[in-house]
Amino acid sequence: MKRRGFTTSLLHADRLGKPEHGSLHKPIHTSIAYGYEKAEDLAAVFQGRQKGYAYARQSNPTVAAVEEKVTAMEQGVGTICFGTGMAALGALFLAFLRKGDHIVSSRFLFGNTASQLNTLEQIGVSISFVDATDAKNVETALRPETRMVLVETIANPATQVADLSRIGELCKQRGVVYVVDNTLTSAYLFVPRKVHATFSMNSLSKYFGGHGDALGGSITDTGLFDWSKYPNIYDLYKGPDPKQWALLQLRKKGLRDFGGTLAPEAAHTLSVGAETLALRMDRCCHNAQKLAELLAAHPKVAKVHYPGLASHPQHALASELFAKPGALLSFELKNATDTFPVLNKLELGILSSNLGDARTLLIPVAQTIFWELGSDKRREMGIAESLVRVSVGIEDTDDLLADFMQALV
């Protein structure tokens, strides 16, 4: 069949799956359990010999439709969805790591991911946090027991860009599982498979759904890792095709056993939101570039972090890797005491902790989302005490710029 574009494929995926009554959307299936007429069929579904649904904690038709869309966007072999991005990451770590294993992680991380890794350390997984903007730092930290490398494409809030391609080469050479959190870019701006990632993770709560009205997370297996060489796959999940081993183990040991299930209602909301992912991304990246330029030229602003600015330390790297430099930026004012008054004067920019919404959202970082980590950890992660994060939305560009101009007066 003809290969269709990103948005065309998303818009027509449900209809082409032929749901009942010619419905254009995959229906919301609310049943938790499924009935079978023959015991043989029920047994075959449980044993994975026959396609079907058993209990909705581990699979549901509405959720499966979203999984298929994410797989297509990420160009992977399969995807498993979770109730949140954090549930996805937690399930991934618990399904594939054992006591004594080691992870090399970027130290520029989403705060709750950093906190989750601290919990893993308490149960016997050791972790090296490195500056992943240079693959050499990852290489130095590798040990014989390193099982995983974890990076984010663009880190939040200071927008460091990981050395994605070289880290991919390194992981490929060393046979290490490479996990890329693609949330800040989305599969529209960047496909981690192209830098040899093993798994692409997305918080669907952000740009994918795009309206701040449903939580979700996903893990996609890109199909590039040779699972027959990974020590932590249970014999139970070694079916005839090694490409399916990791997905099955993640579904059973991650999703089924820990229960971080995506609800079908949320799956539907996310799916509708995703139809405009490319349109929203184009608009919010355009707005982010304009706003970053405006802030960088403003006399009251000390610093702007945005990969689309030539002054950004990984500007060249970001231009090479991503279709666009994203829609998240952060800035510091020259006079830190002006920060809260300026934020309070914004009329369109909303003071809120989310990102990836269609609306522009701002948050002073050190006093809120990174408060719990303390000042030492914040310094290590490159987060200044006066830093403000802006998740740039899809408002009309002139309105957005005018709002910041009046607030900065």
Ligand X SMILES: *Cc1c(COP(=O)(O)O)cnc(C)c1O
Residues that bind ligand X (CB under 6 A): 84-86, 110, 113, 152, 156, 181, 183-184, 203, 205-206, 215, 217, 355
Residue whose entry in the numeric block shows the structure tokens 């044993």: 47
Closest to ligand X by CB, 227 vs 306, is: 306
What is the smallest separation between the CB atom of 355 and ligand X, expressed in angstroms?
6
> Whole-number minimum distance, CB 320 to ligand X, in Å?
21
Our CB check for ligand X shows the closer of 87 and 233 to be: 87
Q: Closer to ligand X at the Cβ: 277 or 301? A: 277
Q: How far is the CB of 66 from ligand X (least distance, A)?
A: 14
Beta strands in 182-316 (DSSP E): 199-203, 217-221, 301-305
Of 180 and 342, the one with the shorter C-beta distance to ligand X is 180
> Taking a C-beta distance cutoff of 8 angstroms, is the pair 361, 350 a contact?
yes
Nearer to ligand X, 50 or 353 (CB): 353
Min separation Cβ 357 and ligand X, Å: 11
**Judged by CB, which is closer to ligand X: 76, or 356?**
356
Q: Where are the beta strands (DSSP E) in 143-233?
A: 146-152, 177-181, 199-203, 217-221
Give the nearest distance from C-beta 211 to ligand X in angstroms: 14
Q: What is the DSSP letter of 55?
A: B
Residues 6+ apart with CB under 8 A from 251: 58, 59, 80
Residue least distant from ligand X (Cβ): 85
Cβ closer to ligand X: 59 or 156?
A: 156
* Between 207 and 245, CB nearer to ligand X: 207
We find the least distance from the C-beta atom of residue 110 to ligand X, in angstroms, to be 4
Q: How far apart are CA 360 and CA 295, in angstroms?
A: 15
For residues 303 and 296, what is the distance between their CA atoms, to the nearest angstrom? 7
Round to whole Å and give the CA distance between 146 and 49. Answer: 34
Helical segments of 199-276, H only? 245-249, 257-258, 264-274
What's the CA gap between 92 and 88, in Å, rounded? 6
| Nearest to ligand X of 113, 249 (CB atom) | 113
What three-state secondary structure class fits 76?
A: coil
Give the three-state DSSP class for 72. helix
The least distance separating ligand X from the CB of residue 356, rounded to whole angstroms, comes to 7
Residue 323 Cβ vs ligand X, minimum distance, rounded to whole Å: 18
* Cα 18 from chain centre: 29
Q: Is 54 helix (H, G, I), strand (E, B) or coil?
A: coil
In sequence order, what are the beta bridge partners of 304?
331
**If DSSP codes are grouped into helix, strand and coil, which group holds residue 40?**
helix
Whole-angstrom Cα Rg for the chain: 22
Give the nearer residue to ligand X in terms of CB position, either 120 or 233. Answer: 120
> Do residues 270 and 281 make contact, with C-beta atoms less than 8 angstroms apart?
no
* Minimum gap (Å) between residue 388 Cβ and ligand X: 17
Is the CB of residue 29 less than 8 Å from the CB of residue 227?
no
Question: Minimum distance between the CB of residue 285 and ligand X, rounded to whole angstroms?
Answer: 16
In the numeric block, which tokens belong to residue 377? 């950890």
Helices (H), 103-235: 111-122, 135-141, 164-174, 186-189
Residue whose CB is less far from ligand X, 326 or 364? 326
**Shortest Cβ 178–ligand X spacing (Å):** 16
* Contact predicate 128/141, CB 8 Å: yes
